[in-house]
Structure 1
Amino acid sequence: MTVQSADLPALGDPSDLITTRLSIEGMSCAACSGRVTRALSAQPGVRDAQVNLMTGSARIRHSPSLPPADLAAAVTKLGYPATIPAAAAPAPAPRTDESAALKRAFLTALVLTLPVFLAEMGGHLVPAFHHWLHAAVGTAPLNWAQMVLTALVLAGPGRRFFATGIPALLRGAPEMNSLVALGSGAAFLFSAVVVVLPGLIPPASRHVYFEAAAVIVTLILMGRWLEARAKGQAGAAIRALIDLAPDQATILQDGKPARIAVADLQPGDLVLLAPGERVAVDGIVTEGRGHVDEAMLTGEPVPAEKSPGDPVTGGTVNGSTALTFRVTATGADTTLSRIVGMVENAQNARLPVQALVDRITRVFVPVVIGLAVLTFLLWLVFGPDLAHAVVAGVAVLIIACPCAMGLAVPVSIMVGTGRGAQLGVLFRRGEALQRLSNARLIGFDKTGTLTRGHPELVAIQTDGIDEAQALRLAASAEARSEHPLAAAIVAGAGARGLDLPPASDVQANAGRGLSATVEGRRLLIGNLAALTEGGIAPSAMLRDQAEQAAAQGATPVHLAVDGRHVASFALADRIRPEAAQTIAALHGMGLKTAMLSGDVPATAQAVGKQLGIDRIQGGLMPGDKLQAIRAMGTGSVFVGDGINDAPALAAAETGIAVGTGTGIAIESADLVLMSGDLGGVPCAIRLSRAVMRNIRQNLFWAFAYNAALIPIAMGVLVPFGGPQLSPMLGAAAMALSSVCVVGNALRLRTAG
C-alpha cells in the first residue's frame, strides 16, 4: 500500500530524499496497514510510504530533516510497535518468532477452552452427558468455572486483541482486532451478567455463551498461527538468497591464511576459495582456473568457467578447483545484497489493483460495526429474546474480518517475486508484475540481445590466394586495430593457429578500413567503398558472394593485396541459440514481436526473418528507437542488454534487461534476467500472468466470502427456516478465509 504525501512541493528534489525501513508488529488486516500508511504519509517531509502487511514492514522516502525515529514513533503511537532494523539486515527478518509465539498462545487458549467447550457443547451432542454433568457439579458452579476459564483465555492469549483493538476503536479507527474484541467481549460480558447479576436479564434470555467467547479467540489464534507459518513459507525464497552468503572466509594476511568473519572483509582483500566452498562476497579471480556454480543467482544450470580477471559473485559455489580472488564489494554493495534489496522493494510495491482493496477496507470495519448494531436492534425487536440478538450481533462482528482482503494482493506479490528470484527473474519494481501480465507486443534490441553481441568470422571466400594465407595477412594488419570487426578476424586466425608476422605503415580510414604493409606486400582491408577509393577493381565473384553473405545477416570485409582484390571475409554476430525458441514461445502465448536495431536494414531484416519476428526495423538512430518504442503503445515491452539500451528500457512500458545482473544491468530496467538467457522473457510473462490470476482468485474469495456470509450471520435465512450462524462457526470461517488466501498464493512457488 502506497500513499503519496500531499506536501510534495516542500520536499525538494527527489534525489535529496532518503529511504527508511521500519519493522512493524501487530498489523493483522488491510485496515491496519492502511492506517499505518496514512499516519506515515501525514508526517511532514514524507514523499511516499509503502506498508506491506505480509512482511510487517514499511518503506518510507522522506526528507533528511525528518528523523527516522519520529517515523517509528508515529507508528508505535497507533498501537503497532515499530523499530528501525539494523542497517546490515538485507530484508525483513523471518517470521519464525511470530509463528512460535502464536503457536504458544493458541495451545494455551486451546487447553483453557476445551473444558468450556465440552461442558457447554458436549450436552448438545450427548444429552446424557449434559444431565450427568449438571447433576454432579451443579449449574451455578459449572457456569462460574466456565466464566473463570474464559476470563483466563481473554486476559491471557486473547489480550492481544483487546490491547490493540479497543484503543483503535476509541480513536474512531476500528480494525480487525476491534471486531474480535467487541465480539468475544460482548459474548463474555453478557454471559457474566447472567452468572453474577441474573436479575438484570429477562428469564427467557438467561443463557451463557462463554464457549463462544473462548472458542472465537482460540480459533482466530489458530488461524493467525497457520497464517504466520504460511507467510514464513511465502518468504522462504528470499531468505534462501540471504542464506547463500557464508559467515566466514579465509584471507591471506602477511602471506598466511587466516579465517575471519565475512562482515570484516574489505575491498582489496585476497580471499582463498576452497573447492566446493561458497563465495563470500563479490570479487575478481587472481589465481586459479575452474568452474563456479551460479545457478542460485542466475537460474543457469551450467557452471561458469572462471580464470584470472573473471568476476565472481557472493553466494555462488566454487567447483573442484581452488581459486583466489580479490574482494571488490562488501556488505550492501554486493550483487547478492542488491538482489535481495530489489526483491524486497518489489514485494513492498503497491500494484494498481490494490487501489480497489484500499478503498473498500478503509470503510469496511466501520460498516461492519454498523451492521452488527443494526442486526442486534432488529433481533431485539423482532427476535425471540435478548440472547438471540447478542448472538447475531457477535456473529456479524466475528465473521466479517478483512484479513483475507488485506492479504490477497501482498501475499501473491511476495510469493511471485520470490519464485522469480529462484528462476533468475528479478522484478525491480512490483508494478511490473501487473504491467507485464498485460503485455501485447515484445520488442527486442538485436545486438547483444537476440545475438551474442560480438562478431565472429563465419566464412572466407578467395580469388587467387589460399584461405589461410589471406587470413594470415589480414589478421596481421588488423592486429593493430581496435575495431570489433578487426578483433573477429584476429580471433579467427588465432583459432586456426596461424602465426602473425608484424605489420608496418598501418593507416586507418574511419568508416572504410585500413592499409598496411606485411612481409613486403601492400594490403588494403575494408568495404567495397575502400577498394573503389583505392583504385582497385572489385572481383565480380567476391562481390556477389559478399552480397549473398550480407543478405544472410553477415558483414563483408574485403582484402586487396598489392592492388588486387583477392579475398572477402564474412563476419556475423551469431544469433543466440535460444532466440528462435523464445520468439516461438512468445507467439505461442498470443504475443506479437518486434526488433528495433541500429544495424543496417539488410542485416536486421535477415536476422529478423530468420527468427520469425513480426515487425523488423533497422538503421535506427537512438532517437528513432525511442520514438519506435513509444509508438508501440499500451502493453509494450522492450528487451535489451541493460547497458547501452538504458534509455530505451526506460521509455518502454515495461523494460527487461538481459544480462549478467551486475552493474548497470541491474539498475536499468523494471525486470532483470540474471542468467542472460532470453528464455527468461516468456518465463517472466508466464509468472506475471500467474501472479495476477492468483491475485484475482484471492480477491474473489475474500470479497465473495464476506458478501455471502455477512447476510447469513445477520440472520436473513432464519425467516425462511434457515439456521442462525453461530459465532464459533463464524470465527472458524474467518480464520479459514485467511489461510485459504495464503495457501492459494503458495501455489505460485511452482509457477514459471
Structure 2
Amino acid sequence: MATDVADSTAAASPETVTTELAVTGMTCGTCAARIQRKLGRLPGVEASVNYATGRARVTHPPEQDTDELVAAVRTLGFGATAAAPLVPAGGGVPSTRTAPESAPRPTSSTTTAPKAEDAPDPELSELRHRALVCLALTLPVMAVAMNPDWQFRYWQWFCLVLTAPVVIWGGYRFHRAALRHLRHLSATMDTLVSVGTLAAFGWSLWTLFFGGAGLGGMRHALYLVPRPDQFDGSRTVYLEAAAAITTAALLGRWIERRGRRRALGVSSSLMAPPATEARVVVGDRELPVPVGGVQPGDRIAVGAGEPFPLDGRVVEGRSTVDAGAMTGESAPVDVEPGTEVLAGTRNETVRLVVETTRAAGDTQWARMARRVEEAQAGKTAIQRLADRISAWFVPVVILIAINTLLFWGVSGAGWGFAVAAGMAVLVVACPCALGLATPTALAVATGRGAQLGILLRGPEVLESTRRVDTIVLDKTGTVTTGRMTLQTLRATDGVGRDEVLARAGALEARLEHPVARAIAAAARDELTEAAFTSAEVTDVAPLDGLGVLGTVDGVRVLAGRHRLFVERGVDVPADLQRALDDAAGQGATTVLVAWDDEHGDLRARAVLAVADGVREGSAEAVAQMRARGLRPVLLTGDNPAAARAVAAEVGIDAADVVAEVLPTEKADEVRRLQEAGATVAMVGDGVNDAAALAQADLGVAMGTGTAMAIEAGDVTLVRDDLRAVPVALRLARRTLSTIRGNLFWAFAYNVAALPLAVAGLLNPMIAGVTMALSSVFVVGNSLRLRRFTP
C-alpha cells in the first residue's frame, strides 16, 4: 500500500517525513509547477516536483496519509503512485537468511543490478514509432504543398488523406492530454499543440468541403509569412502546417526524452545497486544472500572481476581493485588484509574475503546515490522564477491567441489569415524548454560529478560557488593525511639508516602508540620482510609514556623523547641536538634512538622526526586555488609551528594560518571571515569540522570523513585528494553557466517569437519546427556537461 512506502522513507525531521511520488503525464515545466503548487497547498506539506526525473519529493506530517498526496496529484489530471526512494535511506534491512545448508558453492559472479540506461522504455519506443510514421506521411504533404509545380489535380485531397492519420493518430497523445486537463480546467503545453493542430486541420476541412479549396486545379503557394488573400482564406488549406506541427512536436518530444534518458543515465547507473546479492562465507561454504540481509561483521567472498557489494575490510587475499567508479581515479589500487574497500569498486585479479563494515543502506555508494538523488530534486532560484512564470504562461498564451484571432479577423485581414496567426501564437509559445533547463543540466552534472568523485547536495550549491573567494582548509585529515608518518631520520656518523630502522622498528612494532606505529610502518616499508621480521625482540618495557626499552638481537635499545634520555643520563651529541631543534621548529614529534656500544653503555645514535604527512596533491590544489583568485586559509587546532610548517609546504601564506583553534571555535573563525566580507568555502572531514561546514557559505566534506561532516557539507569529495576541490568548483560553475544559458535561450525564444506570431509574421509550420528545436537545443546544451574534464 502507498502508506507502507511513506513509512519506509527517511525522516526529514522529527515532525515530518519525506515521501517520493512517481508522477506520470507531465509534458512541460508548467505541469511540474502546477503539481508542486497543488501539493504545497495541503496543510504542513512542502513539495519539489522534477519534470526531468518524473518524481515529486514531498515533506509532510507523519499522520498524513500518502493516498491524500496521490489524490491531490490525480485531481489535476496526472497519474501518481507512491514510490520507494531510489536509494535506501540508511541502515541495513535485516532479513533471515534462507539459503539451505546444502547450497552448492556458487561459481558465477556476484549478481549485478542492470543499469537503468539499458532498461527498455515503452514510452520512448512508442514515441519513436509514432514520430517516424508521421514523418514519413508528412514529408510528401510538405513537398507537394510547398511546391506549386508539384501540385497535381486534386493534390489537396491527397494531402488530406496523409494528414488525417498524422493529426488524429499521431497527435492522439496531445489531444488526450489536453482533454484530460480541460476536464480539470487547466492547460499545458499539450493544450497548445492540440488546439493549434486541430485549428489548422479543422480550417482545412471547412475550406475543402465548404469553401473553394476542394476544387480541381487549385494551386497553393507556401509563404514563410502568412498574408491575406482575396478569397478571405476560403481557398487556403493548412494541412502541411497541421502535419508539420504534429510531427515536429512528436520528434521534439522523442529527441527530448531520449536526451533526458541519456542525461539521467550516469546518475541512474550510480543509483542502481552495485550488486543485489552477496556470497556470505559460512565455514567452508559460500551462501548467496541478498545484500540487504548482510550485516556488519559478516564475511563475504568477492571473486576476480566482481564488484564489491558492500563496504568492508579485506581479511584474506591480496588483489588489485578498480576504484574508478567511486573516486574517478583511473589507476588501480593494491589491497591486502586490513585495507578498506568500498561498495561499487571492482575486484580485478584474485578472490578476496571481506569483513563488511556497513549495512547496505549505509555504504559510501548509498550515501553517494542519495546525494545525487537529492541534488536532482532541487531547483535554482532562477528556475523557481521560471516555474512561477510558466505556471501562468499557458493561460496567458491562449488568451493572446484568441485576441490575435479576433483582431485579425475583425480588422479585415481575413479569417484565414487570422487562424494562421492564432495558430502560430499557440504553437510557438510552448514553454517546454523552460521546464527542461535546470533538470537536464543538473542531471548530467551530478552524474558526471559522481564519476569524478564529486557529489553536489543540490542546485543551491551552484549559486554559492559563484561567489566564493576564500577557502578555509582544515589541516589534519584534509591537507594532511591524518596519519603519523616518518618524515626525517638523522643518524650519527658510521650508523646506517637501515640499521636504525631495523632496531627501532622492531622495538616500536610491539607498541600501539601512533608514533610507534609510524616508525614501525616506515621500517616495514623500507626494509625487506626478512630483515624486519627476523629480529628477536625481548624484554620490552614501556617507560611511562616517554619511550620504550628492550633488547633487539641481544642488543639493548632505547627509543623515546629527549626528556627520557636526560633522565637516564644518555648524552645527545651536538649534531643530533641540532636535528632535534630543527624538527621541533617544524612542529614534528621527535624520537631519539640509542643502543649499547662495545662497553655496554647506551649511546644516542639517531633522531627520528614523526609528523602528520601532507597529502599528495595538496600543494598542487592550493596552487590551483590561487590561480583562480581564491584565498586559501589553514585552520587547525595544532600548534603554530606544525601549522606553519604544513602551510609553507603547500604554499599558504603564514598570515593565513590560524592555529590552536578549539573544535568549538572553528565555526567562529569562519564567521569572523564572513563578517570581514569574505564568502567562505570550508573544507573538512571530522566531527569537529561539522559546525564550521554548516556555517560556511559552501561546505566541502571529504568523503572518508565522519558522517556528521559529510551531512553538514554542500559538496562531498569521495576521494582523499584536495585537488578535487578546484575541480568541484569548476564543475559547479560550469553547470550554473549551462543552466543560465538554457533559461536565457528558452526565454529569448519565446520573447522573440511570440510578438512575430501575434503580428502575423510567422508561418504556423515554421513555429512548430522552432518550438521543437528549442527543447532539443536545451537538452543538447546540457549534454555537453558529460564531456567535462578536470
TM-score relative to the length of structure 1: 0.86
- Whole-Å Cα distance in 2 between the matches of residues 53 and 235 of structure 1? 12
Query: How many angstroms does 1:651 deviate by?
Result: 2.4
Query: 2:7 is matched with which residue?
Result: none
Over 3 Å counting, the alpha-carbon distance change for 1:601 and 1:308 in structure 2 is same
Query: 1:526 is matched with which residue?
Result: 561
- Asked if 2 retains the 8 angstrom alpha-carbon contact of 1:661 and 1:675, the reply is no
- Asked if 2 retains the 8 angstrom alpha-carbon contact of 1:45 and 1:66, the reply is no
- Whole-Å Cα distance in 2 between the matches of residues 747 and 727 of structure 1? 31
SS of the equivalent of 2:14 reads: helix
- Asked if 2 retains the 8 angstrom alpha-carbon contact of 1:281 and 1:334, the reply is yes
Query: How many angstroms does 1:253 deviate by?
Result: 5.9
Q: How does 1:268-667 map to 2 (within 5 A)?
A: 270-329=299-358, 331-461=360-490, 482-494=512-524, 495-496=526-527, 497=531, 499=535, 501-503=537-539, 506-508=542-544, 513-514=546-547, 525-526=560-561, 541-558=575-592, 568-614=607-653, 615-633=656-674, 634-642=678-686, 644-660=688-704, 666-667=710-711
Over 3 Å counting, the alpha-carbon distance change for 1:649 and 1:404 in structure 2 is same
2:133 equivalent to 1:99: no
- Asked if 2 retains the 8 angstrom alpha-carbon contact of 1:227 and 1:738, the reply is yes
Query: 2:8 is matched with which residue?
Result: none
Over 3 Å counting, the alpha-carbon distance change for 1:235 and 1:392 in structure 2 is same
Query: How many angstroms does 1:274 deviate by?
Result: 2.3
- Asked if 1 retains the 8 angstrom alpha-carbon contact of 2:267 and 2:443, the reply is no
Residue type matched to 2:589 in 1? T
Deviations 1:578-635 (A, max 9, x none): 1111111122222221111111111211221222114222222213322222233253
- Asked if 2 retains the 8 angstrom alpha-carbon contact of 1:249 and 1:259, the reply is yes
Deviations 1:649-701 (A, max 9, x none): 22222122224488566434222221212221111111112111111211121
Instruction: Compare 742-751 and 473-482 and name the one that shifted more.
Output: 473-482
- Asked if 2 retains the 8 angstrom alpha-carbon contact of 1:474 and 1:525, the reply is no
Residue type matched to 1:205 in 2? G
Query: 2:774 is matched with which residue?
Result: 737
Instruction: Compare 359-368 and 34-43 and name the one that shifted more.
Output: 359-368
Instruction: Compare 243-252 and 48-57 and name the one that shifted more.
Output: 243-252
Query: 2:100 is matched with which residue?
Result: none
Query: How many angstroms does 1:749 deviate by?
Result: 0.4
Q: Percent identity?
A: 39
2:252 equivalent to 1:223: yes
- Whole-Å Cα distance in 2 between the matches of residues 677 and 463 of structure 1? 37
Query: 2:51 is matched with which residue?
Result: 53
- Asked if 2 retains the 8 angstrom alpha-carbon contact of 1:665 and 1:672, the reply is no
- Asked if 1 retains the 8 angstrom alpha-carbon contact of 2:87 and 2:370, the reply is no
- Whole-Å Cα distance in 1 between the matches of residues 338 and 589 of structure 2? 31
Deviations 1:62-110 (A, max 9, x none): 2221222322222122122112335676798868333212112223433
Instruction: Compare 240-249 and 514-523 and name the one that shifted more.
Output: 514-523
The equivalent position to 2:716 in structure 1, one of 651, 672, 685, is: 672
Instruction: Compare 399-408 and 657-666 and name the one that shifted more.
Output: 657-666
Residue type matched to 2:408 in 1? W
- Whole-Å Cα distance in 1 between the matches of residues 705 and 766 of structure 2? 51
Q: How does 1:191-230 map to 2 (within 5 A)?
A: 191-196=204-209, 198=211, 204-206=232-234, 207-230=236-259
Residue type matched to 1:80 in 2? F
- Whole-Å Cα distance in 2 between the matches of residues 282 and 133 of structure 1? 75
Query: How many angstroms does 1:205 deviate by?
Result: 2.9
Instruction: Compare 695-704 and 514-523 and name the one that shifted more.
Output: 514-523
SS of the equivalent of 1:677 reads: coil
- Whole-Å Cα distance in 1 between the matches of residues 245 and 185 of structure 2? 24
SS of the equivalent of 2:483 reads: coil
Residue type matched to 1:646 in 2? A
Query: How many angstroms does 1:385 deviate by?
Result: 0.5
- Whole-Å Cα distance in 2 between the matches of residues 600 and 473 of structure 1? 30
Query: How many angstroms does 1:559 deviate by?
Result: 6.2
2:161 equivalent to 1:161: no
- Asked if 2 retains the 8 angstrom alpha-carbon contact of 1:480 and 1:506, the reply is no
- Whole-Å Cα distance in 2 between the matches of residues 278 and 517 of structure 1? 46
Instruction: Compare 741-750 and 243-252 and name the one that shifted more.
Output: 243-252
Query: How many angstroms does 1:176 deviate by?
Result: 1.3
- Whole-Å Cα distance in 1 between the matches of residues 538 and 781 of structure 2? 69
- Asked if 1 retains the 8 angstrom alpha-carbon contact of 2:317 and 2:352, the reply is yes
- Asked if 2 retains the 8 angstrom alpha-carbon contact of 1:96 and 1:232, the reply is no
- Whole-Å Cα distance in 2 between the matches of residues 211 and 33 of structure 1? 32
Query: How many angstroms does 1:164 deviate by?
Result: 2.4
Query: How many angstroms does 1:265 deviate by?
Result: 5.6
Residue type matched to 1:28 in 2? T
Query: How many angstroms does 1:155 deviate by?
Result: 3.5
Gaps of 5+ in 1: 1-11, 719-723
TM-score relative to the length of structure 2: 0.82
- Asked if 2 retains the 8 angstrom alpha-carbon contact of 1:436 and 1:635, the reply is no
Over 3 Å counting, the alpha-carbon distance change for 1:152 and 1:522 in structure 2 is closer
- Whole-Å Cα distance in 1 between the matches of residues 410 and 275 of structure 2? 68
Deviations 1:328-368 (A, max 9, x none): 55544443333222211111112223233123223222222
- Whole-Å Cα distance in 1 between the matches of residues 134 and 559 of structure 2? 90
Gaps of 5+ in 2: 1-10, 89-114, 213-228, 596-600
- Whole-Å Cα distance in 2 between the matches of residues 288 and 49 of structure 1? 49
Query: 2:226 is matched with which residue?
Result: none
Residue type matched to 1:605 in 2? R
Over 3 Å counting, the alpha-carbon distance change for 1:250 and 1:603 in structure 2 is closer
- Asked if 1 retains the 8 angstrom alpha-carbon contact of 2:687 and 2:706, the reply is no
Instruction: Compare 644-653 and 324-333 and name the one that shifted more.
Output: 324-333
Query: How many angstroms does 1:372 deviate by?
Result: 1.6
- Asked if 2 retains the 8 angstrom alpha-carbon contact of 1:238 and 1:418, the reply is yes
Query: 1:6 is matched with which residue?
Result: none
Over 3 Å counting, the alpha-carbon distance change for 1:657 and 1:23 in structure 2 is same
The equivalent position to 1:697 in structure 2, one of 735, 741, 760, is: 741
Deviations 1:399-441 (A, max 9, x none): 0111111111111111111110111112233322332233211
Over 3 Å counting, the alpha-carbon distance change for 1:51 and 1:147 in structure 2 is same
Deviations 1:303-333 (A, max 9, x none): 2222234333333221221212345555444
Residue type matched to 2:170 in 1? P
SS of the equivalent of 1:133 reads: coil
Residue type matched to 1:49 in 2? A
- Whole-Å Cα distance in 2 between the matches of residues 475 and 461 of structure 1? 15
- Whole-Å Cα distance in 2 between the matches of residues 663 and 314 of structure 1? 16
- Asked if 1 retains the 8 angstrom alpha-carbon contact of 2:663 and 2:688, the reply is no
Deviations 1:31-59 (A, max 9, x none): 1111111112222342x212111111111
Over 3 Å counting, the alpha-carbon distance change for 1:330 and 1:535 in structure 2 is closer
- Whole-Å Cα distance in 2 between the matches of residues 630 and 23 of structure 1? 41
Over 3 Å counting, the alpha-carbon distance change for 1:294 and 1:106 in structure 2 is same
2:36 equivalent to 1:37: yes
- Asked if 1 retains the 8 angstrom alpha-carbon contact of 2:33 and 2:388, the reply is no
2:76 equivalent to 1:78: yes
SS of the equivalent of 1:84 reads: strand
Over 3 Å counting, the alpha-carbon distance change for 1:521 and 1:289 in structure 2 is closer
Over 3 Å counting, the alpha-carbon distance change for 1:282 and 1:474 in structure 2 is closer
- Whole-Å Cα distance in 1 between the matches of residues 315 and 69 of structure 2? 46
SS of the equivalent of 1:24 reads: strand
- Asked if 1 retains the 8 angstrom alpha-carbon contact of 2:375 and 2:446, the reply is yes
